[in-house]
Structure 1
Amino acid sequence: MVRVKERYLLVNILYPRDGTTLDKASDGKDGNKEIPEFVAIRQATQSDLTRQLLVRGIKAEAQALFGDCGAGAIERTLSVKYFSLPTSTFILRITREHLRYVWTALTFMRSVPVRNGRPCIFRVARVGGTIRKVEEEAIRQARTLILATKAYMAGNKTSAFELLTRSTKAKGKGSAMTRRKDFVADIVSDDDGEDDNGDEDFEDGNGDGNDDEMDDDGDAHLNGDED
C-alpha cells in the first residue's frame, strides 16, 4: 500500500507599517513610543478572517496562476491545521507533489482574503514532513520574538537583531549558490516520518473555526539539522 506523503507549511502573515497608532505603544511617561519594526509587522490579523476564507483565498490565487489544473490539484488536499489570529500564524497541510502550487500562491497573495482586506505578505517560515517539526519552529519563533522584544526595550538593539536572524553556515568556498542552498535547507525539511502524536496537535475538537492555543511544553528550540 502506497502512503500519501504530505507537507506542512508554517506561514506568518506580515503587515507593512503604515504610520497608524498600531505602530506606537504607550510607555506611561512620554505618551507614545515607537515599537520595534519586527513587532509592528506581526500585528494581529483581522478578526473576520477564518480558516475557510483562508483556504478559499489560496485556491483562488492558485486558480489565477495555474488555471483549473492548479486549482483542482489542491482542491481536496489543502487544509488548515492551525490558525491563530493574535499571532498571525497558521499551518497548512498539502500533499508533497502539490507543495509548489500552494507556496507559489502564498507568494503572490498581497492582502488578507476578506472584504477590504489589509495589505500583507504571506511568508513561508518552515516546511516539514511532520506537523511536529513545524510546531517546534512556531514555538521557537514565539519565544525568540519575546526575547528580542525584551532586549530591544532594554536598549540592546544589536542583541535583538541577532536573536531574530538565524545564520546558516556556508559550505566549501561560501559561494552565493551554496549559501542559497543552505538557506532553502533551513526552511525545508524532508522528514517523511510519522508524527508521534498524529496530526491532532493543532486541531480543536471539530477541526474548524475556533482559534487554538499552542502547547508550550518541553524544549522547542530547534537544532541545526533536523533531517
Structure 2
Amino acid sequence: MVRVKNRYLVVNILYPTSSPAAKAGDAVPEPLQFHAPTPDAFHTGQFMRLVREGIAELFGDYGMGMASRTLKVIYWSPATSTAIIRCPREHYEMVWAALTFTTKLPRPMDTPVVFKVVRVSGTIRKAEEEVITRAKGIIRKAKEMEKGRGDLVMEGVVQAVEKRGERDVVLARVDEGEESESDSD
C-alpha cells in the first residue's frame, strides 16, 4: 500500500500598510499593525480559492492537477493572520510560489498583503508548535514596546558599540611605504 506524503506550510499574512481593522486614532503597537488581524470577510474558502487561482496562473492545468490532490487549509486564525496549509510533498514549491506572488486579498477587501511562508514541516505537530511559538513572540514584542522598553537587543548592541568606540583598537597595520618589485620576490 502506498502512503501519501504531505507537507505543511505555516503561512503568515502580513499587512505592509495600515490595517483595515485598525483606525488612525488607535494606539496599536507597530508589531501588531504589521501582524494585523485579517478582515472577517476573508475566510478559508476564499483563501483556498486564492491559492488555487495563483497555482493556475503560474503553472496552468498541470500545476492545478499536481498540487490540488491533497491541498487543504488545516488551520486558519484570522486573529493572528496565520494558516497551516497541507499540500503534496512533491509539489509544495508550487503552493509556496503561488502564495509568494499574491499581492492582495480578493475583490471585496482589496487590501495589499504579503504572504510569508515561515515554515515547511513534514508533520502537523511541528507546524502547530511553530504557530504557537510565533504567536507568543509577537505578543511578547508588543508588550515590550507598549511598556516603552523598545527593542532590548538593539539597545544592548548600541551600548556595546559605544563602549568599544571609547578605545582605539588596531586590528592590523598596513605598511604604506613604497615597495619595489625586487623587494616583493
- Calculate the TM-score normalised by the size of structure 2: 0.76
- State the partner residue of 2:67: 74
Q: Could you tell me which of 69, 83, 90 is aligned with 2:76?
A: 83
Considering only CA atoms, is the larger Rg found in Structure 1 or Structure 2? 2
Q: Distance in 1 between matches of 2:56 and 2:106?
A: 14
Structure richer in helix, relative to its length: 2
Question: What aligned pairs does 1:182-197 form with structure 2 within 5 A after superposition?
Answer: none
**Paired position in structure 2 for 1:64:** 57
Residue 41 of structure 1 corresponds to 34
Query: CA 1:21/1:107 → structure 2, altered by over 3 Å: closer, same or farther?
Result: closer
Find the residue that maps to 1:22 and give its secondary structure. Answer: coil
Question: Which amino acid in structure 2 is aligned with residue 123 of structure 1?
Answer: K
Question: Tell me, which stretches of 5 or more residues in structure 1 are unaligned?
Answer: 27-32, 163-227
- Give the match's secondary structure for 1:157: coil
Structure 1 counterpart of 2:108, from 111, 115, 125? 115
Match of 2:125 among 132, 143, 151: 132
- 1:25-71 CA distance string (max 9 Å, x none): 65xxxxxx4x3332111111121112111111111111111111111
Q: In structure 2, do the counterparts of structure 1 residues 40 and 97 end up closer, same or farther at CA, with 3 Å as the change threshold?
A: same
Contact kept, 8 Å, 1:148 with 1:160, in 2: the verdict is no
Q: Which structure has more RCO (C-alpha within 8 Å, separation ≥ 6)? A: 2
**Distance in 2, Cα, partners of 1:94 & 1:21:** 30
May I ask how many residue pairs the two structures share in their alignment? 155
In 2, Cα distance between equivalents of 1:135 and 1:122: 18
Q: Pairwise CA RMSD of aligned residues?
A: 2.2
Deviation at 1:144, TM superposition (A): 1.0
Amino acid at match of 2:105: V
Q: Deviations over 1:84-138 (max 9, x none)?
A: 1111111100110010100000000011134342110101011100011010011
Change (3 A) 1:87 1:113: same
Query: In the TM superposition, what are the counterparts of 1:173-184 in structure 2 within 5 Å?
Result: none
Structure 1 residue 24 displacement after superposition: 5.1
Mapped pair 1:95 → 2:88: yes
Relative to structure 1, the CA distance from residue 88 to residue 20 in structure 2 (aligned partners, 3 Å threshold; closer, same or farther) is closer
